[in-house]
Amino acid sequence: MIHYFILQAGPVSSVSDTNNSFNYFPIAIQLIFAIAFVAIMMGVTHWLGPKRATEEKLENFESGIEIRGNARQPMAVKYFLVAILFVLFDVEVIFFYPYAVNFRELGWEGFMAVLMFVGFFLAGFYYIFKKGALNWED
Amino acid sequence: MNELQFKALLPYSLLATASIIVILLIAFRRNHFMIQVVGFLLMCGVIFALVQVRPLLPVAIPPLFQIDGFALLFTGLIIGSVAIVGLFSYIYFEAREENPKEYYILLFLSTLGSAILAISNHFVSFFLGLEILSVSLYGLIAYLRNRNHAVEAGMKYLVLAALTSAFLLFGMALVYMDTGTMSFPEIAQKLSAGGGSSVLFVMGMGFIVVAVGFKLALVPFHLWAADVYQGAPVPVTAFIATVSKIGVFAILLRFSLDVNLQNFPLAIDIFAIIAIASMIIGNLLALRQANLKRLLAYSSIAHLGYLLVAFLPGNMAGVEAAVFYLLAYSITLLSAFGIITMLSTRKKDADDVEIYRGLFWKKPLMALVLTIALLSLAGIPLTAGFIAKFYVLGAGIQSQLVLPVIVLVVTSVIGLYYYLRVISVMFAAPVPAEAWEKTVSPLFYNSTYIALVILALALVALGVFPGLVVEDIRTLLTVR
Amino acid sequence: MTINHYIFLSVALFCIGIVGVLTRRNAIVIFMSVELMLNAVNILLVAFSKMHYLAAKIINPATQAGIEGQLFVFFIMVVAAAEVSVGLAIIVMMYRNIHSVDVNFLNRLKH
């Protein structure tokens, strides 16, 4: 039944065909090729390459910089703060998507609702700003 | 949304604005006193708005909310309790080194969550209200963040509450699968049309009961209660014991009235077992507590068990009894926690029963208020607690709930023991105590004192003339 | 794929989450497990939403049935993010106080 090129999505012959999972078959093949390529390349280099273990070669690779100290030291709490704030502000975008898709149908009422949402958000942002949570140097 | 719906939502919008206003006040660097006063005025504004909304009811705001007399009663209870908790908070937090201002944002947010639970009519608003309530509670419990106890309690509550909200959602999803809808009236329609017999539906309801039971600290799910009550700051403990439980109980009551829980003997049996277990275990565990906060935690487990007895009949008498019980219970607990707040010092909360030894001879009025509160918790005649228990018993006997009623009476007698023990400690000969720490703010100290005395008087007044409020409760409940 | 597949997947994820919460001691891993449970519910809700939509479409092609499930998922995601940020803040405080995120050290509250 495969009468089209193997890596190209087949033409949709009817509406009922759009949801046919067989349409995704080329994508699956491409995935398999990609994974196999990477795996083979890694395996072959491992197998062909010579192995001379000197002390310098056994060190952890840190992009050419010499290793100093332990990586597991406590970070400044600022990183956490910024990370947490990022998570919050990032996720709120979720509510803009449905609005952006439907904003004509929702009209002024929807616009007011979104404006209110943004207003609440800006109040929070203003608070964070005033509190100095985003000041990197102290 | 039309004008009527907008007006009916006004108290809730005002409540939501309250926390935004507090955020902005903090951003403009206003002091604690100002935030406290503005917060108190806002709560008064919400109560005023509730009174204004009263003649418009009932208003439905499909699909999420249903504002009726029932919602108004519970919202009123919540806002009243929070106004008093806010009053306590000033003297408690002013004495401590932490910055007290953000506390009010969280306090008003969780109040909003609780109030939303009282009006919600749909799984989405149920979940959102519950999460607004509990996410801000995590912050409130761990608020005194440099004290190890507070963070430990916050962490415990956090893990367990997050786990139960996942359970709640799973339950909701299963119910949604079976009924194809999330709004309570439509679920009720589907059920009366003969749905709701599938295994998945029953499992879903079971998951929801687990989550609600956790929030109310009913017996198989009560393990967090004592630790959280002990570790949280005293005003927050008062808040958990009153506001959060009122809100969750409101939604439980609304849901069971909507779907007519009477028609499901299995559900009634489960709730009866939970109620009996809560009454017995709560009272037994409270017997050996030397820490007043833990004692009140176990006693509140028992009290929620009593409350469930009023919930079981599912008729109007039961609902009336439950509302009156919640009113008496929250006034009582607020006055007890108020006394604990006033006696707490900067270093230590006044939660050891030994601190109260001989309190009567040092501060007679305070001891008297606490005595009235404890007697009311024990259900001694002439206090509101007695009348409340009487109504609950009446509702139970009317519906022939023999076993729960017997357990209620027996465990009340057991409960008497530990309340009387605290009272006897207060009237014992005083130990030569260290000097009481000077109060930080005489104005708020005195107003808290006055508020507590008024609460205690209200307890006695309700105990002697319950007719003062029962008629109002009854007429409000008919607005549906 | 029938609806059962989705239910099995979601129940499996949910159970992995429960086991993670109950057996792990690291607070952050516990949190990840809770997130897993919430996302299991999301899968379930979207699947049920589609199921109800397909069932209703046969009767009425312009139906809006099943929209609630998808809307609910949005709210769950946002609430989960809020929960995580408050949770992380508390975990940071816990680390500052006891220099560990092991929940077994949370045993000092006793009568």
Domain definitions of chain C by residue range: 3-102
Lowest mean pLDDT among A35-39, B61-65, B328-332: B61-65
Q: Please write down the HEC assignment for all residues of chain C.
A: CCHHHHHHHHHHHHHHHHHHHHHCCEHHHHHHHHHHHHHHHHHHHHHHHHHHHHHHHHHCCCCCCCHHHHHHHHHHHHHHHHHHHHHHHHHHHHHHHHCCCEHHHCCCCCC
**CA separation for the pair B452, B436 (Å, rounded):** 19
Q: Give the nearest partner residue to A91 out of C78, C88, C96, using CB atoms.
A: C78
A74-138: CATH topology is Methane Monooxygenase Hydroxylase; Chain G, domain 1 (1.20.58)
pLDDT, position B461: 92
What residues contact residue A60 under an 8 Å CB cut-off, 6+ apart?
A67
Residue A127 to residue B23, Cβ atoms within 8 A: yes
Distance to chain B for A118, nearest Cα, Å? 13
pLDDT at B446 over 60: yes
pLDDT at A7 over 70: no
* Matching residue, tokens 């299995």: B266
pLDDT at B349 over 60: yes
Cα dihedral sign, B376-B377-B381-B385: positive
Residue C65 to residue B170, Cβ atoms within 8 A: no
Q: Give the nearest partner residue to B24 out of A109, A123, A131, using CB atoms.
A: A123
C50-105 residue pLDDT tens: 999 998 888 888 888 888 899 899 999 999 999 989 998 898 888 888 888 888 88
DSSP result, B384-402: HHHHHHHHHHHHHHHTT-H
Chain A residues closer than 8 Å to C88 by CB? 80, 83-84
Residue B127 to residue C79, Cβ atoms within 8 A: yes
Q: C79 and chain A: CB distance < 8 Å anywhere? A: no
**CA separation for the pair C41, B172 (Å, rounded):** 9
- CA distances, B436 to each of B91, B154, B345, B350, B354 (Å): 15, 30, 8, 12, 15
A21-53 residue pLDDT tens: 777 788 889 999 999 999 999 999 988 888 777
**Residue A3 confidence class, pLDDT cut points 50, 70, 90:** very low
DSSP result, B144-170: STTSHHHHHHHHHHHHHHHHHHHHHHH
pLDDT at B434 over 80: no
Percent of chain B residues topping a pLDDT of 70 = 97
Residue A120 to residue B27, Cβ atoms within 8 A: no
Residue C92 to residue A98, Cβ atoms within 8 A: no
Nearest CA in chain C to A79: C92
Q: For chain B, what is the mean pLDDT? A: 89
Q: Which range has the top average pLDDT, A2-6, A17-21, B116-120? A: B116-120
Residue A126 to residue B1, Cβ atoms within 8 A: no
pLDDT, position B444: 85
The full set of domain ranges for chain A reads: 1-71, 74-138
pLDDT at C108 over 80: no
Nearest CA in chain B to A110: B1
**CA separation for the pair B19, B29 (Å, rounded):** 15
Rounded to two decimals, the ipTM of the complex is 0.95
Average pLDDT over residues B421-449: 78
DSSP A137: -
DSSP B290: -
Greater confidence (A76 vs B291) lies with B291
Residue C92 to residue A77, Cβ atoms within 8 A: yes
Residue C93 to residue B151, Cβ atoms within 8 A: yes
Residue A98 to residue C85, Cβ atoms within 8 A: no
**CA separation for the pair B86, B93 (Å, rounded):** 10
Average pLDDT over residues B350-366: 85
Q: Which two tokens stand for residue B237?
A: 């403990």
pLDDT at B407 over 80: yes
Nearest CA in chain C to B204: C41
Chain B residues closer than 8 Å to A126 by CB? 24, 27
Distance to chain C for A56, nearest Cα, Å? 34
Nearest CA in chain C to A83: C85
Nearest CA in chain A to B21: A123
Greater confidence (B416 vs C110) lies with B416
- CA distances, B424 to each of A24, B262, B419, C34 (Å): 78, 43, 9, 46
Lowest mean pLDDT among A117-126, B233-242, B257-266, B367-376: B257-266
Distance to chain C for B398, nearest Cα, Å? 40
pLDDT, position B168: 95
Residue B155 to residue C27, Cβ atoms within 8 A: yes
Percent of chain A residues topping a pLDDT of 90 = 14
**Residue B81 confidence class, pLDDT cut points 50, 70, 90:** very high
Q: A101 and chain C: CB distance < 8 Å anywhere? A: no
B265-296 residue pLDDT tens: 888 899 999 999 999 999 999 998 889 999 99
Chain A residues closer than 8 Å to B106 by CB? none
Distance to chain A for C69, nearest Cα, Å? 14
Average pLDDT over residues B57-63: 86
Residue C83 to residue B165, Cβ atoms within 8 A: yes
Subunit partners of chain C (3 or more CB pairs within 8 A):
A, B
Residue B159 to residue C69, Cβ atoms within 8 A: no
Q: Give the nearest partner residue to A87 out of C84, C92, C95, using CB atoms.
A: C84
Q: A92 and chain C: CB distance < 8 Å anywhere? A: yes
Q: For chain C, what is the mean pLDDT? A: 89
Nearest CA in chain B to A121: B20
C3-102: CATH topology is Helix Hairpins (1.10.287)
Residue C85 to residue A80, Cβ atoms within 8 A: no
Chain C residues closer than 8 Å to A91 by CB? 77-78, 81-82
Q: B182 and chain C: CB distance < 8 Å anywhere? A: yes
Chain A residues closer than 8 Å to B27 by CB? 126-127, 129-131
pLDDT, position C79: 92
Average pLDDT over residues B158-165: 93
